[in-house]
Structure 1
């Protein structure tokens, strides 16, 4: 299957080493056709689509792992966030890479942080809610630390981490994260066939990963790279 080979190539990259921070999050692929796994997410563009789980290098935006959400299978899945996080980072652990895993509140549980700590992999998670008080608190259990502070946008930010070992409140600046931002250039076309839509998405991811690897050794324009890649592929075939 094409997707199986695609995922195999992602998790077995020979020419790329992950940085110190890896994000685990959901990726939404807009799609209005028919598929058993179609989801509705109000906050996403297009509202309806196919959901994927991803692990991404936060410094470069390189996609390291990929998994399609196939809908409910016989009932509600228990501890889905823990299972997804484990699936996303386990290939890196098996290859000997130990990076800090960053995820939002859906993926993070105390069980997950303890599990990663057993592999000596730091974990961080972020949870944001509106509150009216201005406080900073600190809790700890085993290797897991919970820091809660009120930011300048009047939101309460809770951070679960195994990165910090001292029993004191860390500075707010140490909890600021840099999301990898990349302009989006897509090969997708309008289609009502879900497998074609997923194929377009995989091609986009492969092209982005290819550019990240290429730009590490060569100077090249982000816009020109997919154009050159498409011309080379057509010439090859």
Structure 2
């Protein structure tokens, strides 16, 4: 029997079929019947098959096509067998584990977050602010026994950093109080000299015990605050199925033993951080500074493997996938992750794609000579970015990040400004009643020679004479700047 294949999708009439039979050579037939294999059916049969086999309004699902070539295998020197597989074909490990967690803000974060400030305090909590305040006051008392700082004033100090990041990110911080680059919100919040005083005394650990802790921890000056920040990031948000791990170089030229120089980065000098990020939201789930040689790393373990396993420790055993670049990718790392129900997707080519630089936009970064302050700036940037993600997820807010930072700065300084207004009203009331306080030598002495006065400055509470006064309200010239 001879078989004649017709062109795809073409139906022949009776006359066309007869003409084709007449023209066919006898050598093409073995004397049997000639059957026509039509590769396309009529429209009615197609519609009936679609109605019975497929759901309405749903496109047919395409199966991945193989290349038709046999799988090629290569054996490495170490005995590892590498097999080339067709793109799109499911692997043997695809169904080993599935994602079981519920991605998004945690229940505790959803209950707390009702404002921009609350989302920020989920990451930089009140306990951390109290620790920074206590360490700063202890440092100030070494030279100024009567120096003091409240938590609300510390929050106002942080709000100035955020306002500067939005309004005038270029230039020195003190320029925000100058006549040429004046930012009224910053001047209303705090005098320039008070801001400089807080910055000079700002500390994040107990200096008396630092020498002992530095022997085992190079990051001792900021280690406690950073650890608590990492814990708060993990408590407030559950990452999705896909996570990424990469490095961040926070630009700074401070003098410290772990400053890095990377010629390929836009800012070549800085402190390097390893970061694990949720792929969908860009939420920073975990971060760790690179401090050089780690004595706790096991002998023979690659640095990249050690970094990935530490960053992912909290997020393993839930069926996640981790995407890394060629620095982290290795066969041994994939085996270790598979044992913890986590898969690895690694990049092996030389083209590196960067994640969106959220931390570089509206950064509070400023010039400093102390590396703990530089790390503090980076932590504020990361906390603000995470707080923005949490606030949008919990409240449904859709505003821009710059607007969120301005709202956050306003809420950070709100309580301090209220307290400041109360003190100003009390000072006005006391100044309106003459003779209530004994005269004392002027403690400002900007324009006088130890004149005596019974009035105090409404801001710093120092006795101020008439020559050193600088407003209809009783402000000394230092606080007026």
| Structures share fold, TM-score greater than 0.5 | yes
Out of 11, 22, 28, the position equivalent to 2:249 is 28
| Aligned counterpart, 2:116 | none
- What TM-score do the two structures reach when normalised by structure 2? 0.37
After superposition, residues 69-218 of structure 1 pair within 5 angstroms as: 69-73=290-294, 78-93=301-316, 97-129=318-350, 179-180=355-356, 182=358, 184-216=361-393, 217-218=396-397
- Structure 1 residues 181 and 60: alpha-carbon distance in aligned structure 2, compared to 1, 3 A threshold: farther
Count of residues in Structure 1 that have an aligned counterpart in Structure 2: 188
1:35–1:194: 8 Å Cα contact kept in structure 2? Answer: yes
Partner of 2:140 in structure 1?
none
Match of 1:164 in 2: none
- Over alpha carbons, which structure has the higher Rg? 2
Aligned partner of 1:226 in structure 2 is 405
Residue 37 of structure 1: how far off its partner (Å): 0.4
Larger strand share, 1 or 2: 1
Give how far 1:181 is off.
5.8
Quick one: distance in 1 between partners of 2:362 and 2:264? 21
Change (3 A) 1:225 1:180: same
| Within-5 A mapping of 1:4-23 | 4-13=227-236, 16-23=237-244
Secondary structure of the structure 2 residue equivalent to 1:223: helix
What CA distance in whole angstroms lies between the structure 1 residues aligned with 2:286 and 2:300?
A: 21
SS at match of 2:312: helix
Which stretches in structure 1 are left out of the alignment for 5+ residues?
130-154, 158-176
User: What's the TM-score, normalizing by structure 1?
Assistant: 0.72
Q: Which has the larger share of helix?
A: 2
Does the residue aligned with 2:275 lie in a helix, a strand or coil? Answer: strand
Secondary structure, aligned partner of 1:127: coil
SS of residue paired to 2:408: helix
Determine the structure 1 residue equivalent to 2:260. Answer: 39
Q: Distance between the aligned counterparts of 2:258 and 2:354, measured in 1? A: 31
Which 4+ residue blocks in structure 1 deviate beyond 6 angstroms? 74-77
CA gap of 1:179–1:49, structure 2 versus 1, over 3 A, is closer
How many Å apart are 1:46 and its aligned residue? 2.3
**Shift in Å, 1:124:** 0.6
| CA distance in structure 2 between the partners assigned to 1:222 and 1:73 by the alignment | 37
CA 128–70 in structure 1, closer or farther in 2 if over 3 Å, else same: same
In structure 2, do the counterparts of structure 1 residues 38 and 178 end up closer, same or farther at CA, with 3 Å as the change threshold? closer
The 1:219–1:66 alpha-carbon spacing in structure 2 relative to 1, beyond 3 Å, is same
Query: 1:90 and 1:39 mapped to 2: Cα distance?
Result: 26
1:31·1:192 contact (CA, 8 Å) conserved in 2? no
* 1:223 Cα offset (Å): 1.2
Kindly state the Cα deviation for residue 220 of structure 1 after the two structures are TM-superposed.
Answer: 2.1
Deviation digits for residues 75-106 of structure 1, max 9, x if unmatched? Answer: 9984000000001111112xx54321000111
- Aligned partners of 1:38 and 1:50 also within 8 Å: yes
Aligned twin of 2:281: 60
**How far has the Cα of 1:179 moved from its partner?**
4.4
Query: Structure 1: how far apart are the matches of 2:307 and 2:239?
Result: 19
Structure 1 pair 97–206 and aligned structure 2 pair: CA distance change class (3 A): farther
CA RMSD of aligned residues (A): 2.4
What is the CA distance between 1:194 and its match in structure 2?
Answer: 0.7
